[in-house]
Structure 1
């Protein structure tokens, strides 16, 4: 384009891309069939070898085999920058027309059989290796089986189906993952540093539609996530079981970033029409056992959870040498995804103390002194928990 005295029409994050393009292939065919053999396509640092054949053009029967050595898709994205504020649109009296439904008639005619291999792929910061994908389909039913890849020292295998035999498409997906290092993945993908550990997961979901709200309303399935030998950063559950003042009071300045180490964090769940339900999410750590149960509504974007931390040992090794003392405080989490609310379950707390006995005057005095000594010297736990939850929700 520079030779023509014109600016290239596509802006990319990396100005050095789209400077080298090459294509070669052998093509042969007749009125009923076309084949592309020994294809080689080079774009900057990436090289694709491929073959394609198409027959029966009225009802296309397509077969392909594609092999890509490596590509960094982030280089080809639009350059990052501050977006200009959108201009306020004038309100119009007539109601905007509804979005038309997608016509899948052409897909019902398509016959497809293809394979894709990618050596290394980077997208939105995340890196994957050795991706292999096989796709087949005819008469409106397309199957993805298998999809395998390596991800941050772990492996992912998946299969799925996309059914457009009727006007409303249906999709089902199953995923199995194991051995994935969570912390570097979250740092690269989301620029977040709130969770460590090795993850394994299973997920089986089914949904209908091709529009966001309908997908959420029809989402059904189940899943199971297990994190081993890790830590939750930004929140100190040891402080939550120390006593009420520590749980909802303040952390001292100058200390390391709060964290809760765990040996296992297990989260099984079901999804019914967009309602995620977990009855027994558990965390096991040297000091405490945590049970969480509740529901999250993906359609309304609201949640209602109860978290029950229970101590099992002394606090030594969790930022203090004190023996465990004080009250275990159940936590209630409610509200919207964007603005969750955290509060102690005082009713359960009182019932617990009625069973074990109320604190004597010296205990109350010490708790008040501890709270006063820490007043104004750190960030409330609720703010930490909100930040952690927003990180988990990607907001």
Structure 2
């Protein structure tokens, strides 16, 4: 097969200019037979299987899929139907990207793996450029190590496996105000606040099995709330089933009250469509937990008072005498 050795150095390139407009792309997908849309088509990879390639790329400014990157370094290698991009490095959104990609086309159904580390990135502008909207703000790190097979979205999601971790600082989740929802569920006055949940820290990790993301160690901290969570996100069906456990660690006075819930675990269920989930505060469980919390506090208070009363009546010396000391 062909043997290629190449080195490219570019000042700037916008790959999106060479892609078909979204309207044309959507129309082309719609016209495809159902079998091909589901991954039944068999593209010919014979040329790639014969390719012997080593190429280095250096790009000062790169735009791809709406994302803007600088100082891009790529090393592409192809041997006997296995293509690798390793290393991949770039500066983007005030942070850094390091990673590698492997594509195996030795069989009719291609397989691929992706390892990426994003460090110190601003997540809001990245998401806006990539998807057109952003529900997360903050500075943070993301690690992804996944593999799958296929060419179409459905097949790729169904066969997606791997693991991930993320950690963000000084940000917010846009579209839902957790503190406001708690106050509203407990009958507190609700003021006209922005629909977002601010946090000082947000982190979590998980595994992906056949397109289902499982996370059991979600943690979020803000000046007034501590939140832990666990649940699943089905990327194939685009459904979410997640449970947050929220504790008020500081008075919410000035934001509607709810002081009596300090230290009480409040369940918040997230479910439904992944792109538009519903949030429900479990009021019954919260009130039950609150009552149990108050009972325990009262029991401890009575025990403390009883101990003080006995000590006063008997005197500390009498108590010592009971034990021969």
Fold conserved (TM > 0.5)?
Answer: yes
More helix by proportion, 1 or 2?
2
- The reply on whether 1:313 has 2:250 as its aligned counterpart is yes
The corresponding residue for 2:161 is 220
Indicate the RMSD between aligned Cα atoms, in angstroms: 3.3
Secondary structure in structure 1 of the residue aligned to 2:179: helix
Secondary structure in structure 2 of the residue aligned to 1:299: coil
Q: Compute the TM-score of the two structures, normalised by the length of structure 1.
A: 0.64
The corresponding residue for 2:8 is 66
Shift of residue 142, structure 1, vs aligned partner: 1.4
Residues 9-68 of structure 1: CA deviation (Å, up to 9, x unaligned): xxxxxxxxxxxxxxxxxxxxxxxxxxxxxxxxxxxxxxxxxxxxxxxxxx1111111111
Shift of residue 306, structure 1, vs aligned partner: 0.6
The corresponding residue for 2:201 is 264
Q: Per the alignment, do residues 266 and 71 of structure 1 end up closer, same or farther by CA in structure 2, a change over 3 Å counting?
A: same
Secondary structure in structure 1 of the residue aligned to 2:289: helix
User: Residue 41 of structure 2: which of 74, 81, 100 is its match?
Assistant: 100
Q: Per the alignment, do residues 156 and 258 of structure 1 end up closer, same or farther by CA in structure 2, a change over 3 Å counting?
A: same
* Aligned counterparts of 2:290 and 2:136: Cα–Cα separation in 1: 33
Q: Per the alignment, do residues 97 and 265 of structure 1 end up closer, same or farther by CA in structure 2, a change over 3 Å counting?
A: closer
Question: Which structure 1 residue ranges, 5 or more long, are not aligned?
Answer: 1-58, 90-94, 359-395
* Aligned counterparts of 1:128 and 1:298: Cα–Cα separation in 2: 27
- The reply on whether 1:324 has 2:265 as its aligned counterpart is no
* Aligned counterparts of 2:61 and 2:259: Cα–Cα separation in 1: 50
* Aligned counterparts of 1:66 and 1:149: Cα–Cα separation in 2: 16
The corresponding residue for 1:116 is 57
Residues 270-314 of structure 1: CA deviation (Å, up to 9, x unaligned): 101111000111101111111121001112222211111111112
The corresponding residue for 2:217 is 280
Residues 343-362 of structure 1: CA deviation (Å, up to 9, x unaligned): 2334533541441359xxxx
Q: Per the alignment, do residues 82 and 102 of structure 1 end up closer, same or farther by CA in structure 2, a change over 3 Å counting?
A: closer
Question: Which structure 2 residue ranges, 5 or more long, are not aligned?
Answer: 296-325
Contact 1:128 1:149 in 2 (8 A): yes
User: Residue 133 of structure 1: which of 74, 81, 101 is its match?
Assistant: 74
The corresponding residue for 1:153 is 94
The corresponding residue for 2:281 is 344
Superposed counterparts of 1:129-208, under 5 Å: 129-192=70-133, 194-208=135-149
* Aligned counterparts of 2:21 and 2:103: Cα–Cα separation in 1: 33
Q: Per the alignment, do residues 76 and 235 of structure 1 end up closer, same or farther by CA in structure 2, a change over 3 Å counting?
A: same
* Aligned counterparts of 1:206 and 1:97: Cα–Cα separation in 2: 23
Secondary structure in structure 1 of the residue aligned to 2:124: helix
Contact 2:113 2:147 in 1 (8 A): yes
Q: Per the alignment, do residues 320 and 250 of structure 1 end up closer, same or farther by CA in structure 2, a change over 3 Å counting?
A: closer
Contact 1:61 1:110 in 2 (8 A): yes
Shift of residue 339, structure 1, vs aligned partner: 4.7
Q: Per the alignment, do residues 110 and 136 of structure 1 end up closer, same or farther by CA in structure 2, a change over 3 Å counting?
A: same
Q: Per the alignment, do residues 228 and 100 of structure 1 end up closer, same or farther by CA in structure 2, a change over 3 Å counting?
A: same
The corresponding residue for 1:378 is none
Secondary structure in structure 1 of the residue aligned to 2:260: coil
* Aligned counterparts of 1:82 and 1:207: Cα–Cα separation in 2: 27
The corresponding residue for 2:314 is none
Secondary structure in structure 1 of the residue aligned to 2:127: helix
The corresponding residue for 1:362 is none
* Aligned counterparts of 1:160 and 1:96: Cα–Cα separation in 2: 29
Q: Compute the TM-score of the two structures, normalised by the length of structure 2.
A: 0.77
* Aligned counterparts of 1:214 and 1:156: Cα–Cα separation in 2: 27
The corresponding residue for 1:13 is none
